[in-house]
Structure 1
Amino acid sequence: MGNGFADAEVALKHLQELWQEEPLSGSVAERDGRVVAYLVAGTKPAAVWGPNAWVESSGHALDDDVPVEVARELYAVAAESWVAEGRLAHYVLVPSHDVALADAWWRLGFGLQHVHALRSPWSVEESLAAGSRKSAITVRTPVRADMAALVELDLELPRHQARSPTFSSGPIASYKEAVADWEGDFVGEAYASERFTTFVAEQEGGVVGSAVGCALSVSRMYEGPLQTPDAGFLGFAAVRPEARGLGAGRLLGEAVLAWSAAQGHPAVVTDWRATNLQSSRAWPALGFRPTFWRLHRLIGH
């Protein structure tokens, strides 16, 4: 991923910064007086995560010669204090290529909740292939007249995630709040956001989907080894229920990939809930490959 975290000095600097930002707690494993593995967690303040212990991508590591079973021992020690503090919702970000480590966490009762993924920007060959496909759906940048449709699509994603089988408890903004969010992105009739680029999918004169791209640095969720330097970010996409299955989501994703390539981003990142059936099929089909899994365990249930 080219983020420098194989360098001990880079990793140490990040951990020091992380420790200064919030109180961390956890456990370490030692051999001959030297730390060979560690596990530390902070707390996410948003109510949607519950009373939690949150292990970031940089919040755990094992020396190369330390068996992954030690990760289970570290958790056993750390979790005792987390649970005693009432922090019953546990989260950990695990690199998806380390199947043995992921298996150790699964054997602790954790399950897959969220997927972080990466792919290269849109290539010339992919652009030509996409251009040769015929579709009744067109993709363009929005105008002020699209605001009502954009607001509805903003609300559609959390509504969709609240349904089976995802059952997300994420908050759903009011229509008024969603309108206020969009108001600042238009100057006159034109879309003019400085941080984000937005595309809409149109079918028979009506907007049926939207997607948002930006630099990954705009998102605070991507820190530590999870971060890919200078990457683009497919941060949002939604399609109206009646238009799903017609290719609108793919066309929107392709538009963000093409934009990211034009911006010179060396890679594009996105993420999705593993239980969102549409996202978990659409984005891998567009070439995104997992880099990290967010695993979750709820104590006492």
Structure 2
Amino acid sequence: MPMGWLGRKDPLQIVAFQSYGTPQRLYIRGRALEDESIDLARKGFVPLLTNSWKRFETDEIRHAPLRIRLPDDRVFELTTDMEGYYLLDQQAQALDSLTNEEGWVHFEMSYREGQLSRPVLGENRFPGSMLIPAATARFGVISDIDDTILQTGVTSYLKWRVIVNTLFKRAESRIPLSGAAELYHTLHKGTDGQAANPIFYVSHSPWNLYRYLELFLRRNQFPKGPILLRSMASFWRRKREDVPHKQHEIVNILESYPKLSFVLIGDSGEKDADIYLDIARRYPGRIRAIYLRTVRHPGRMKRVRNLIAHEKTVPVLLAEKSREILSHVRELGLLK
């Protein structure tokens, strides 16, 4: 049960999710939580189980007064919701003047002074970053995580492998699919190494796994990119959603960058093919190619093959190896 402002007095922290925006739009997301002292690097069964429990039994800080400070000292104030999440979606000017060479704006989060009755972790300064795609970008990449770059076992019986891998394996010990990091760096850098094509990671996983997945991506040297997950409440009601979470996030990205085309990468295990094809039809000319990792499930592979058999809207490739995707991207002329 959430502790809110009551109960034990663990220090407060702010987690800023890697997000994205435009030169005229701030789009910053994250969550205010009690510090649970989760050490993602600790080894051993008991620490793993303890950390797994802490990731899902979070003590969010409801209605917390927060402040965001940009590098040019512009300040924005906001308040968390009932689950401790915050979202700043606001117009602002000349944000691209604050970016580094990769397009990232680095900012600082804090609790508003004088409005807290709780201790804050450290100096009440928490880092965050937001991506504004660089002008040199030729296209963007939107990628799934589960069974696309990280072996999770979404097709296993009752998803038992997902449970085992998530609860009992450290992020550092998880092995990415062969060649995935190199593929994504090539897509990100382009042929000349200067393109800075943006990479967006979109998953059905809950936000509780954000730091776990961010550590996995960083330790395995994937290009830095916005990581877009979902709330636990949304996770449990996913079967009843009118618009799938992943589709909603991808549409937001396309609407944010109307002049940028995209490559979509997913897997054949669940609904990526359906979602990606629907988006390609709704946004003609915006999706340059769809790549779907093959999975070891004959029934699902047959369904996907039937689905794409007569597809003419966009090139679709079922790929077992990362090099197959890279070769196809070059054939399309996206990498010269």
Q: TM-score, normalised by structure 2?
A: 0.26
Whichever structure has more strand as a proportion of its residues is 1
Q: TM-score, normalised by structure 1?
A: 0.29
Greater relative CO (CA pairs within 8 A, separation 6+): 1
